[in-house]
Amino acid sequence: MNGRAAALGDAATVALRSNTVAFTTDSFVVRPLRFPGGSIGDLAVNGTVNDLAVSGARPVALVCSLILEAGLDVAVLRAELEAMRAAAERAGILFVGGDTKVVDHGEADDLYITTAGIGDPLGMELGPQYVRAGDRVIVSGPVGDHGITILLARGDLDLRAELESDSRSVWPFVEALTGALGSRVRWMRDPTRGGVATSLSELARDARLGVVIEEARVPVRDVVRGACEILGIDPLHVANEGQFLAVVAAEACDAALAAIRAVPGGAGAAAIGEIRDAHPGIVQCRTPYGSSRIVDMLVGDPLPRIC
């Protein structure tokens, strides 16, 4: 458990390691509320924890705010509160406050959860401005599991498969990676809505550099690949809730993979590409057949309420 928290009437006070704090928020409206490998409560914790982690901050404390639709089954609410408690415990983060609002039937869809989180910044220089040509792109594990799990759970696709959301805290991996590499980690991001493609496109745009990824090196489970083929979507556009992308110095790439793989659940980490001077702002994907395609940001939202 990080941080110390003291309850006050209207706000909690939390002890930090320094006088700088990382601060973030996300709302969660995923449908269905429960799906293989997770639930909305679980996502609401991990999503905010992961935003702190990939910003280079140790997650310390969370607050949550619930919007409930009148008539919501109390057992459903209890299950999600328990999911939040368990996820926070796993992530080593404290809940220090919250709020609840109830709206009429038809003014929400069962339950929406908003979390905000604070963390202790590690003091690293992370961001597109620190990325250089020659740096390597790493992903922490298989991509697309969360988005395809949600799609299958909705029953929109006449397909049964053994697949679970990847919902988890990425902090243990980030801690191992940043501990091993220090300033040789240049940039991190959790590829949620819009997937790996959108995160890397934003990186290419903001760093004014090119990104080249090798399609064959991107870890994608067969069932995810198959579902994507049926749907005509690219696994690189599918949401993840327990993976992160990192750009690291070329000479530190093996050490980076070793650090992530040494953490339980990190065996699937892979180096998937490289930063280039050529084609600034563009993400290219090299196919196993030797051709290249341009990977765009996700436009529109083909998979609404995925998180």
Residues contributing to the site for a second copy (CB under 8 A): 8-29, 50-52, 54-57, 61, 63-67, 96-104, 106-109, 112, 114, 116-119, 121, 126-127, 187-190, 301, 304-305
CB nearer to a second copy: pick between 17 and 276: 17
* Nearer to a second copy among residue 28 and residue 35 (C-beta): 28
The DSSP H or E segment spanning 178 is helix 171-181
Comparison of 277 and 301: residue with beta carbon closer to a second copy: 301
Pairwise CA distance, residues 78 & 64, whole Å: 15
Give the list of residues 6+ apart from residue 28 with CB closer than 8 angstroms, or none: 40, 43, 44, 47, 112, 113, 114, 115, 307
Residue showing tokens 């990325």? 131
- What are the E-state strand segments in 157-282? 185-189, 210-214, 245-248, 270-276
Our CB check for a second copy shows the closer of 35 and 244 to be: 244
Q: Which two tokens stand for residue 184?
A: 């040789």
Read off the tokens for 164.
Answer: 């679970």
CB of 223 to a second copy, least distance (A): 27
Q: Spell out the residues 6+ positions from residue 291 whose beta carbon is closer than 8 angstroms to its own.
A: none
Contact (CB, 8 A) for 180 and 122:
no
DSSP per-residue codes, 130-148: G--TT-EEEESS-SSHHHH
- C-alpha 175/C-alpha 158 separation (Å) is 40
The C-alpha angle with vertex 286 and arms to 282 and 291, in degrees rounded to 5, equals 110
CA 152 remoteness from chain centre? 20
User: Looking at beta carbons only, is 137 or 220 nearer to a second copy?
Assistant: 137
Which candidate, 12, 11, 47, places its Cα nearest to that of 29?
Answer: 47
Q: CB-wise, 19 or 291, nearer to a second copy? A: 19
For a second copy, the closer of residues 202 and 296 by Cβ is 202
Query: Which H or E element spans position 153?
Result: helix 145-154
Return the number of the residue (174 or 249) whose C-beta is nearest a second copy.
Answer: 174
Kindly state the smallest distance separating residue 215's Cβ from a second copy, in Å.
25
Token pair recorded at residue 305: 């309420």
- Least distance between a second copy and beta carbon 98 (Å): 7
- Smallest distance, a second copy to C-beta of residue 146, A: 16
Smallest separation, CB 62 to a second copy (Å): 9
- CB of residue 304 vs a second copy: minimum separation in angstroms? 7
Cβ at position 28, least distance to a second copy in Å: 8
- Residue with Cβ nearer a second copy (96 or 270): 96
Cα–Cα distance between 249 and 181 in angstroms, integer? Answer: 9
Q: How far is the CB of 256 from a second copy (least distance, A)?
A: 18
Q: Give the shortest CB-218-to-a second copy separation in angstroms.
A: 21
